[in-house]
Amino acid sequence: MAKNKTNVSEPNQYPLRIYQSQKLVHAKGFAFCHAQLIDVSGKKQVYEEVDFSYSIFTRGYFHQAEFRACNFTGARFVDCNFRNATFADCNFSYSDFTGCRIETDEVLRNLPDQPNVRRELLQILRKNALSMGDVAAGRAFVIAELAAKKEHLRRAWKQEENYYKKKYGGFRNQSLVLAKRIGLWLDGFLWGHGEKLWNLPIAVIAILAVFSAISSATWAFSLSDPSVSQLIIMFKSFMIYYISLFLDAPYRDSLPHIVVLDWIVVIFRYVSLGILVSGLFRWLSHR
């Protein structure tokens, strides 16, 4: 019987390199790719066009360091301190942060161009910021993450790039993209994705005004020649009626009702109450 051939693995293209308890002095054009950097420091050092791709930083200390055009693709940072460090034209695609202190504005200025990659990075940064108790940074990353999601859905809808044509082509995928875009718009319109509670009363007034306009138009179609003043009076009356219905307050005047709109206003009342309670809970829990 013929013996099974043993698969010989290919030689390691990236030999193991470990830098431990060292100070990484100023470097330009150097490569630390696929390296393990443990307990390294680089306070006030300058790194220019350095390749840190797929490296693992553990307990690194880079206070007031400068990183210019550095490549951090796929790098992992664990318990690192980048306080007051600056980054310019750096690539953080597919990077991971755990228990790290890093300046929010600096990272936001070096986000990847691809919206889907940018969103994944922002999710990781938000989780890292909240684990460090930095609520303000967490909210900033949420806002940036939502912007990246909107851009991602916009590109998926437009399909101007081959990536989106292959992944989101077809009626079914386009329908899902459209539904997500509408849902995201509604979430932002109603309460600013949970970050702007003051949007809620504005959204309520706007929706009730639309219902009042629909009811006024329906009433006007039942007349032969209504005047503009009559339309304005009816619009005000319907607006008062829908506000009273939304607040569950008594309303004595008799108006022609559209039952479907009444039910929608009642349902919207309870949805708004749930949104308000959820938003207040989030706000109070972060104080």
Please report, for the domain that includes residue 50, its CATH number.
2.160.20.80
Q: How far is CA 87 from CA 83, 104, 126, 269, in A?
A: 12, 11, 18, 47
> Do both 126 and 52 map to the same domain?
yes
- Calpha distance 162→178 (Å, rounded): 19
User: Are 29 and 109 part of one and the same domain?
Assistant: yes
Clarify whether residues 102 and 227 are in a common domain.
no
Total number of domains constituting the chain: 2
In a domain, 141, yes or no: yes
How far CA 40 is from CA of 6, 77, 87, 99, in Å, comes to 41, 12, 18, 16
* Token pair for 3: 């013996």
Q: Give residue 78's pLDDT.
A: 97
DSSP designation for 228: H
Domain boundary residue, one of 141, 158, 175: 158
Burial class (CB in 10 A: 0-12, 13-18, 19+), 182: exposed
pLDDT digits 0-9 by tens, 61-75 = 999 999 999 999 999
Residues 21 and 145 in one domain: yes
Residue 164 exposure: Cα atoms within 13 Å on the Cβ side: 16
Assess if residue 194 is contained within a domain: no
Q: What is the pLDDT of residue 121?
A: 95
176 lies in some domain? no
- Tell me which amino acid residue 61 is: Y
- Examine residue 182 and state whether it is found in any structural domain, yes or no: no
pTM: 0.67
Residue 195 is predicted with a pLDDT of 67
Same domain, 105 and 41: yes
**Does residue 78 lie in a domain region?**
yes
Q: Which residues of the chain have pLDDT under 70?
A: 1-14, 192-195, 282-287
Pair of tokens at residue 189 = 């319109």
> Which of 158, 182, 211 finishes a domain?
158
Q: Are 98 and 79 in contact (CB under 8 A)?
A: yes
Quick one: tokens of 258?
């559209």
What pLDDT score was predicted for residue 39? 96
Question: Which class for 171: exposed (0-12), middle (13-18), buried (19 or more C-beta within 10 A)?
Answer: exposed
Do 211 and 142 share a structural domain? no
What token pair was written down for 91? 């690539």
Q: What is the DSSP letter of 5?
A: P
Angle between helices 199-221 and 171-191 (to 10 degrees): 110
Same domain, 247 and 129: no
216 in any annotated domain: yes
CB atoms within 10 A of CB 59: 16
In this predicted model, what pLDDT tens digit does every residue of 89-123 receive, in sequence order? 999 999 999 999 999 999 999 999 889 899 999 99
Helices (H) and strands (E) in the chain, counts: 8, 11
What would the two tokens of residue 165 be? 């044509």
pLDDT value at residue 193: 66
Shared-domain flag, residues 45 and 150: yes
Inside any domain, residue 168: no
Q: What is the pLDDT of residue 187?
A: 78
Domain with 244 in it: 199-285
Same domain, 124 and 247: no
Strands (E) across the chain are located at 17-20, 27-28, 35-38, 46-48, 56-58, 66-68, 76-78, 81-82, 86-88, 96-98, 101-102
pLDDT, position 194: 65
**Residue 1 in domain:** no
Shared-domain flag, residues 146 and 212: no
Statement to judge: residues 276 and 143 lie in one domain: no
Q: Are residues 144 and 220 in the same domain?
A: no
Among 158, 185, 210, where does a domain finish? 158
